[in-house]
Structure 1
Amino acid sequence: MRTYQVTSPGGLENLNIVEQEIPQPKAGEVLVRWRATSLNFHDYLVGIGGIPVEDGRVPMSDGAGEVVAVGEGVSTWKAGDKVVSLFFPNWLSGKPSATATEAISGDTTEGFAREYSCVDSQSLTRMPNNYTFEEAATLPCAGLTAWRALMVEGNLQAGDSVLVQGTGGMSIFALQFAKAAGAYVYATSSSDEKLERLKALGADEVFNYRTDVNWGKTIAERSGGVDHVLDVGASATIKHSMDAVAVGGHIALIGVLGGMTAELVLPQLILGHVKLSALAVGSKEMQEKMIAAIEVNDVHPVLDKNFTFDELAQAFEHQASGSHFGKITVTYAD
């Protein structure tokens, strides 16, 4: 079987494909044939060496595939079942803990840029029954992050307002989940063409952050303050997120697209009674609830461009260009 490995010192030119034997599942494990993965900013950082990983690490935090064989004692899965990976393979339920979140797929433990692997039987969920493998591969990181930010940390209610930033996979999932729950959605982009696409997906009002340098204040004036703000840009966006959020509102700190640090004006947050939630993805239990909601509401991810297994580096280059709208996927050949 073919497997990608990240070799020191990182960089897309050091993403190498090696041939390995197909493993056999041990007790409590299942052998999965992976059919697709999707790209996240976290995966890109691993690929270019921005997040140091063990030499030879298999990258990619997302995987969708089918069970080929099960090990001794496994009764939850059978051959032919369609499954999705977990970003945190050991965080099954409850609150996050150091132990539960220590293993990160494609980072501190092996990821899914390979054709087969053995996985603990607990570290999988079923695929939505109305999804392709490419669609399902978008869920473990981007989909679940949006779900947790809105539904778990934010306790989103019908009639609430939501601000999503940009047109990456997480932001578009947040738009879709918010609309399915009956929320009013504000969205931003630097591209008027992308803003029109956001409106077509259900965004109620859109704002070009390149032409309006005070877009956070503009959105606050339009909305009276937004109940839920999903911040993805750190230093590039946090000021605007604080300007836009309602008194008593919620800001989910999710991304670092604009840098690894951000300056907080504490009196503005304190006197505004703002709840800040710094979060990374979610648990298996959250993923299962998200999948149930996806099936009920027939929510499908927006897919940008699909690449073949051999084209992972090119897929990352496309991601780095910033031209994509929604999720970039990679399909493994039959």
Structure 2
Amino acid sequence: MRVFQIEGDWGFDNLNLSERLEPKSGPGQVVIAMRMASLNSRDLIVPERGYGQATGDLPLIPVSDGVGEVVEVGEGVTRVAVGDRVCTTYFQNWIGGEPTPERFASALGGPLDGVMADLVCLSQEGVVKVPDYLTDAEAATLPCAALTAWSAIVTHGQTRAGDQILVQGTGGVALFALAFAKMHGAHVTVISSSDDKLEHVRTMGADETINYRETEDWARASRAITSDRGGYDNIIELGGAETLPLSLRAVRPGGTLSMIGVLSGLNIKASLGPIVARQVRLQGVTVGHRDGFEAMLAAMAQHQMRPVLGKTFAFEDLKPALDHLRQGGHFGKTLIEF
């Protein structure tokens, strides 16, 4: 069967279209014929071994997010059946509860082999059934970006009607966060450097928008929006080093900074004073567990929520798809069709 794998040494030059033997299911396992995959920022980091030892060993099949059809089940499989359409879960061993080192060590696409293969063999515990209303392309976007947003807005954020949320940017996680926050009755502000993208998110339900290139001090600009409570209840923090100091000024006393992205850098220069004096919670968010995934799917089906899709590439065009993702400027999830 066809696979894309990083082989010989790390680096994008060593990401090659290759072949492996077709897998067979063992006890408790399922074989999935992959249909679609979607890309995340992580997929640009893994080939360069950006996560160190946690990235795994070579050869490694990259990419964590995808959807396919179950074509074979092993002895004892009860969660799914042949013919079911399923999504992979990002953390294969994290069913529910609190994270542990062992659960965090079970990520697809590094250290475990990912989905860029015609056939993928996984534990039945590492897949979830997909609602019928979603297309393959829509379902493929869900395992990382959607679940990360759901964890930030619902699992950890416990968003309630009337809460005020700020979402940074218009990437995959940001667009899902906007949709889930609106689903729960929140007032949402989105910041971006693109007026065109801000116009898009207004059509998706964003209540307020700020262009942070035109208004660099967006924390000050947001005060008029949140004047009744002194700041946002939850800020979906995707920028990292450059945005965190502003987020600390824009969050309300007792509010939450949902730390997800580090797009502007890892090392921050911010005063710790506001965190203590205003009792701000810094909540790291690393995707989520299967229980959260299935709760998210139930909510999406109830509201018939549809993900925002970007450009689709053929399986053999994984490298051009990654280049497209790296260049930025796109709107919606980048997809791979098998």
TM over 0.5: yes
Partner of 1:42: 42
* Partner of residue 115, structure 1: 118
Residues 1:14 and 2:14 aligned together: yes
Q: Which moved more, 1:142-151 or 1:102-111?
A: 102-111
Is 2:37–2:66's contact at 8 Å kept on the other side of the alignment? yes
Partner residue of 1:255?
261
Which consecutive aligned stretches of 4+ in structure 1 deviate over 6 angstroms post-superposition? none
Cα shift at 1:221: 3.4
> Following superposition of structure 1 onto structure 2, how do residues 36-75 of structure 1 map, counting pairs within 5 Å?
36-52=36-52, 53=55, 54-75=57-78
Q: Matches of 1:116 and 1:247 in 2, distance apart?
A: 50
**Contact 1:13–1:313 (CA<8 Å) still a contact in 2?**
no
Aligned partner of residue 122 in structure 1, secondary structure: helix
Give 1:222 shift.
Answer: 2.3
1:230 aligns with 2:236: yes
Give the C-alpha shift of residue 86 in structure 1: 0.8
Residues 80 and 129 of structure 2 are in contact (CA less than 8 Å); yes or no, is this contact kept in structure 1?
no
Alignment of 1:1-334 (within 5 A): 1-52=1-52, 53=55, 54-224=57-227, 225-332=231-338
Amino acid at match of 1:236: E
Q: What is the CA distance between 1:50 and its match in structure 2?
A: 2.8
| RMSD of Structure 2 on Structure 1 (CA) | 1.2
Report the AA paired with residue 282 of structure 1.
G
Give, in angstroms, the shift of residue 48 of structure 1: 4.0
Deviations 1:272-326 (A, max 9, x none): 1111101200000000000000000111110111111011111111111111112
Q: What letter corresponds to residue 279 of structure 1 in structure 2?
A: V
Contact 1:254 1:280 in 2 (8 A): yes
Amino acid at match of 2:335: T
Q: Distance in 1 between matches of 2:150 and 2:120?
A: 27
* Cα-to-partner distance string for 1:173-227 (whole Å, 9 max, x where unaligned): 0000111111100001111111111111111111111111101221133222111
Moved more, 3-12 or 108-117: 3-12
CA deviation after TM superposition for structure 1 residue 103, in Å: 1.3
Identity %: 39
SS in 2 for 1:100: helix
Distance across 1 between alignment mates of 2:102 and 2:270: 29
Report if aligned partners of 2:85, 2:129 keep a CA contact under 8 Å in 1.
Answer: yes
Q: For residue 65 of structure 1, give the secondary structure of its aligned residue in structure 2.
A: strand
**For structure 1, which runs of at least 5 residues remain unmatched after alignment?**
none
The CA deviation string for residues 220-249 of structure 1, in whole angstroms up to 9 with x for no partner, is 332221111010111021112112111111
Q: Does structure 1 retain, via aligned residues, the 8 Å contact 2:61–2:109? A: yes
Cα distance in 1 between the residues matched to 2:72 and 2:269: 50
Q: CA deviation at 1:261?
A: 2.2
TM-score, normalising length: structure 1: 0.97
- CA shift at 1:268, angstroms? 0.9
1:203 is paired with a residue of what secondary structure?
coil
Task: Give the whole-Å Cα distance in 1 for the aligned partners of 2:135 and 2:268.
Answer: 38
Once the two structures are TM-superposed, the CA of residue 11 in structure 1 deviates from its matched residue by 3.1
5+ long unaligned stretches in structure 2: none
Equivalent pair of 1:36/1:133 in contact (CA under 8 Å): yes
User: Could you say what secondary structure the match of 1:314 adopts?
Assistant: helix
Measure the CA separation in 2 of the matches of 1:91 and 1:45: 22
- TM-score normalised per structure 2: 0.95
Q: Deviations over 1:117-165 (max 9, x none)?
A: 1100111111122111111111110000000001011110011011111
